[in-house]
């Protein structure tokens, strides 16, 4: 299969939805028919996706291509908590079976990165891995790709919402393509949305303290000599800032961690009050132990670009949610309530905890990580309310933004 056809057949099903222009948010996804609560709105595979840099650093083991988790929830909790005697309840609900049942992992013969199958290995080689494979230098800290990864990590601490390695994969796809101009034309739907003021984009994504890191990342892309002949944006600091805007505005978090999947499955079990309390106690303790040893647990494995789902706008009171029920990057968007015909479909870019914070905190997070100012009904309805922003959410620029909000 030629790379010029990589964008075809990524959308599995999307009955009754269409992309329309909105007055204030650019493109949006709308229903053409009534969608019932719990129904699947669309299913889609990413055009490109990549594991987060910090997840790799913490040894979260996932398929290099589809991000399928390759470690059981129990083994992951044991490793991240350093408690190798930990026994999780109801381990039969884990999406990854216990060690004896885990299928053999395919590894790249040159660099040993893991894949869940021969198919994922073959597709990655066809799309990007030929030029990104580091061979025996995968642990060489002086390799340009590793230096690029480290520069990004120093400017974007967890929890990550994007990764510069996604830009590297896009560049590699262009480099390997038999028709790079056609591939770039297909990527243009994402590139064209990254049109905000570049200095402001860098400020919101990385903060003014990280100007030097942006320059370093731009320089490292030159050392990689990857896609720069066709992607001129990768040659300048301003262009690199627009690429950060691309992954910030369009990237979709992909939740394939075996622990988060396991917890969801346990939550869905029918248990007595006593059984539920017992299970919750073990799981809560596991999270506490993991945080003490390894830091905040990273529920999201990575991010990707989805051709249709990327058109779905944010709301702090969403009517749909993105799920990954197949332990891979294959996404299913599900209705959270009945959605009327001609109504816009909105998801939340925030997790449950973040959605419960004040308007100021929510908008600050969305500004810094997704490059937009939220104007959803909930945020507009809370104008003038007293902010309950916690001290850790307050930054040097908050007074300026509060003045703009008022």
pLDDT by 10s per residue, the chain, length 406 = 333 334 455 666 666 888 888 776 678 899 999 999 999 999 999 999 999 998 888 888 899 999 999 999 999 999 999 999 999 999 999 988 754 445 568 899 999 999 999 999 999 999 999 999 988 777 888 888 998 998 888 877 777 878 889 989 999 999 898 888 888 877 776 755 544 444 444 444 555 666 777 888 888 888 887 776 778 778 888 788 778 777 777 888 898 889 988 998 999 999 999 999 999 999 999 999 998 988 877 778 899 999 888 888 889 999 999 999 888 999 999 999 999 999 999 999 887 777 888 888 888 888 777 767 888 888 988 877 655 544 444 454 444 434 444 4
- Name the nearest CA neighbour of 244 among 275, 287, 215, 274: 215
How would you classify residue 207: left for phi > 0, otherwise alpha for psi between -120 and 50, otherwise beta?
left
In angstroms, rounded to a whole number, what is the distance separating the alpha carbons of residues 378 and 385? 12
Token pair for 372: 């937009």
Token pair for 390: 């916690």
SS (H, E, C) 112-151: CCEECCHHHHHHHHHHHHHHHCCHHHCCCCCCHHHHHHHH
Assess contact for 247 and 52: CB atoms under 8 A: no
Token pair for 161: 């919402």
Backbone φ, ψ for residue 384 (5° rounding)? 90, -10
The neighbouring-strand residues paired with 17 are 31
Please tell me whether the overall predicted TM-score, pTM, comes out greater than 0.75 for this model.
Answer: yes
Cα angle 35-41-43, degrees, rounded to a multiple of 5: 165
How many C-beta atoms surround the C-beta of residue 197 within 10 A?
11
């Amino acid at each position: 299969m030629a790379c010029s056809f990589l964008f075809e057949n990524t959308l599995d099903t999307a009955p009754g939805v269409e992309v329309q222009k909105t007055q204030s948010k650019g493109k949006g996804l709308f229903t053409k028919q009534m969608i019932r609560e719990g129904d699947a709105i669309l299913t889609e595979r990413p055009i490109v996706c990549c594991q987060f840099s910090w997840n790799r650093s913490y040894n979260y083991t996932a398929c290099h291509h589809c991000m399928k988790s390759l470690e059981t929830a129990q083994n992951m909790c044991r490793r991240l908590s350093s408690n190798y005697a930990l026994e999780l309840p109801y381990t039969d609900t884990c999406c990854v079976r216990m060690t004896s049942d885990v299928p053999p992992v395919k590894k790249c013969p040159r660099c040993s990165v893991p894949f869940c199958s021969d198919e994922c290995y073959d597709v990655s080689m066809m799309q990007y891995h030929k030029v990104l494979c580091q061979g025996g230098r995968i642990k060489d800290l002086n390799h340009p790709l590793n230096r690029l990864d480290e520069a990004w990590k120093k400017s974007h601490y967890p929890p990550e919402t994007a990764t510069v390695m996604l830009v590297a994969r896009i560049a590699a796809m262009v480099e390997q393509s038999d028709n790079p101009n056609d591939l770039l034309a297909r990527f243009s739907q994402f590139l064209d949305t990254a049109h905000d003021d570049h200095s402001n984009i860098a400020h919101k994504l990385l903060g003014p303290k990280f100007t030097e890191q942006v320059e370093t990342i731009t320089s490292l892309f030159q050392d990689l000599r990857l896609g720069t002949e066709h992607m001129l944006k990768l040659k300048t600091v301003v262009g690199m800032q627009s690429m950060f805007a691309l992954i910030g505005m369009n990237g979709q978090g992909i939740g394939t961690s075996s622990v988060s999947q396991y917890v969801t499955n346990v939550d869905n079990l029918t248990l007595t009050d006593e059984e539920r309390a017992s299970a919750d106690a073990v799981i809560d303790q596991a999270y506490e132990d993991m945080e003490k040893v390894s830091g905040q647990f990273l529920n999201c494995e990575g991010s990707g670009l989805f051709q249709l789902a990327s058109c779905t706008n944010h709301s702090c009171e969403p009517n749909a949610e993105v799920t990954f029920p197949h332990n891979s990057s294959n996404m299913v968007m599900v209705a959270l309530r009945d959605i009327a015909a001609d109504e816009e479909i909105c998801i939340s870019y925030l997790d449950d905890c973040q959605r419960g914070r004040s308007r100021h905190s929510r908008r600050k997070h969305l500004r810094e990580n997704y490059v937009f100012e939220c104007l959803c009904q909930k945020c507009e309805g809370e104008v003038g309310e007293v902010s309950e922003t916690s001290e850790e959410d307050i930054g040097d620029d908050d007074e300026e933004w509060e003045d703009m909000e008022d």
